[in-house]
Amino acid sequence: MPLPKNPKNTYRQSMFAKIVALLALCTSTGYALTLQEALEKAYQNNPTLSAAKNQANASRYQAYAGRGALLPTLSAEGTWGVTTYDQNSQTDTIHPRTGALTLTQPIFTGGNLSYAAAAANYNAKAAGADAAGAAGSILLQTVAAYTGTLAAAAQVSATESLVASLEKQEAAAIARLNAGEGTRTDRALTVARLKTAQGNLATAIAAYQSASQNLQNLLGIRGEETERGEEDKTTQGEQSVPAAISSWQLTWPEPAPALYVSHPKTEEEEEKESLPAAYPSPTTVTPPQIPASNLSPARPLPVAHPTLQAAEARAKAADKTYKSQRGKLLPSLNAVATTAYGEDTSTARTSGTQSSVQLQLNIPIFKGFSEFNTTRAAAANRLASADALRAAKNTLEANIINSNNNLEAYKTTWQAASAAAEAQQDYTTSIEKTYSYGEASLLDLLDARQSLAATKAAAAKAKADYITSTYAVLEAQGQLQTPPQR
């Protein structure tokens, strides 16, 4: 008895609807978001980066306050009152009024104020370097999220193509079985592969949703529904920018622009290029030549790297803080100039002006060991900051070496994965032809199509990793503090 045709599957319909919505990223004609624009948006809107910038501004104002402590202070003081008294059966009322201006200038504070101002200035520099370092980290994360979203979309597309081909194969298997030409084994094998592919498609869709949400968070953009229930939009020129990442059109970017640097080839490089390649390199995906200077682990540490700048500034700030705290144990000397005026201050209703200039000497004798212990803590913090500086240098050097090594590894992986995807495409096309002639088994066909989807996804992932690694080299060298301009 022939089997009935497979009815429309509600699951497939809903899954196809999700695919259409999710792949709007790659197929829609909406707002085109390039990587350069994404980096600029992240630099302007990312909340973590904004917090670091605001903290740098706060530290800068604290440095201004520290400098102000070295300047003279001028204060005004005055009183006004009503006094009623009885004398010889007479009642009289006077209105005493006084006023004074006091000018105070620190002369010697044991270095307390000057070192405190210097420490605040170095702390401001450290906060600024932290903001620059946060910018580099956020921008690198944005590159990874942008390319990761494209790779996830490619995974969805490849898996969806596999599901579609397996659905056609299932329909063909049913038709062949009804015609008495196929077997139940072929249909069961196709259904098993189809169900597996559908599960992989659901996983790929979830991964894409996670990647796009991560990119949206890095760009500092809310979802389509805001707190007021309205679509969150900003304006660039005359074009309205939608809030949802899924309504944007992302495109594969080029590697980091700073890596496009021409340099003369060495004899070793020319000899290496003359040797036959271990595998064919597709012309459409050949990465750019990486400059030799970027790959040398012996190159000096970049002095402009924000991590190194922050560590150096904190070490200097800790040293100044220790010296400032030590100055509190010493005597202090201030000059005080006062001008006072009084009127109706006695029953004689006299008035007059008084001026004075004084030197105030303050000698700390005993404060419960608080200043002494605070000074010891500052000394320990100075040693810790010096150790942190050495650790930062070691970490930075390791990051530079690792980023360059990863760059070469990801470049090789991308070339290999692209070549594998191209070869798998040719192999799958050949298997489909031989299967139509009855010279290949159904299992061979299903394996080829499944491998094609996997190699396409792997090639997209390798491409994303390579592009991200080029920006990682820039970040490790301190050259990604702002969005790079091509």
Strands 239-241 and 234-236: antiparallel
**For the domain that residue 465 is a member of, what is the CATH number?**
1.20.1600.10
Contact 482, 258 (CB under 8 A): no
* Backbone torsions φ then ψ of 337, nearest 5 degrees: -115, 130
The Cα 411–Cα 463 span in angstroms is 8
Identify the domain boundary among 363, 388, 423: 363
Strands 97-108 and 332-343: antiparallel
pLDDT score, position 182: 72
Name the domain count of the chain: 2
- Residues in the chain with pLDDT < 70? 1-31, 87, 89, 222-247, 257-303, 344-351, 486
* Whether residues 158 and 222 fall in one domain: yes
pLDDT score, position 112: 87
* Whether residues 314 and 433 fall in one domain: yes
pLDDT score, position 27: 44
* Whether residues 297 and 226 fall in one domain: yes
Rg (the chain; Cα; Å):
37
**For the domain that residue 355 is a member of, what is the CATH number?**
2.20.200
The Cα 334–Cα 332 span in angstroms is 7
* Whether residues 335 and 257 fall in one domain: no
Q: Is residue 115 part of a domain?
A: yes
pLDDT digit string, tens, across residues 220-232? 886 543 333 334 4
pLDDT score, position 160: 92
* Whether residues 103 and 125 fall in one domain: no
Q: Is residue 5 part of a domain?
A: no
* Whether residues 193 and 143 fall in one domain: yes
Pull the structure tokens for residue 61: 């104002």
DSSP β-bridge partners for residue 73: 104
Side-chain-side CA neighbours of 31 within 13 Å: the count stands at: 20
Q: Name residues whose C-beta falls within 8 Å of residue 310's C-beta, 6 or more positions apart in sequence.
A: 125, 126, 129, 130, 133, 392
Q: Is residue 67 part of a domain?
A: yes
Identify the domain boundary among 338, 363, 388: 363
Q: Is residue 424 part of a domain?
A: yes
Output the pTM of the full model.
Answer: 0.74
* Whether residues 79 and 152 fall in one domain: no
* Whether residues 171 and 282 fall in one domain: yes
* 334 CB-contact burial (10 Å; exposed 0-12 / middle 13-18 / buried 19+): middle
pLDDT score, position 267: 52
Q: Is residue 120 part of a domain?
A: yes
Q: Is residue 371 part of a domain?
A: yes
Which residue's entry shows tokens 């979203």? Answer: 149
Pull the structure tokens for residue 332: 């202090």
* Whether residues 148 and 217 fall in one domain: yes
* Whether residues 349 and 389 fall in one domain: no
* Whether residues 146 and 200 fall in one domain: yes
pLDDT score, position 152: 93
* Whether residues 146 and 32 fall in one domain: yes
* Backbone torsions φ then ψ of 405, nearest 5 degrees: -65, -45
> In which domain, by residue range, is 82 found?
72-108+330-363
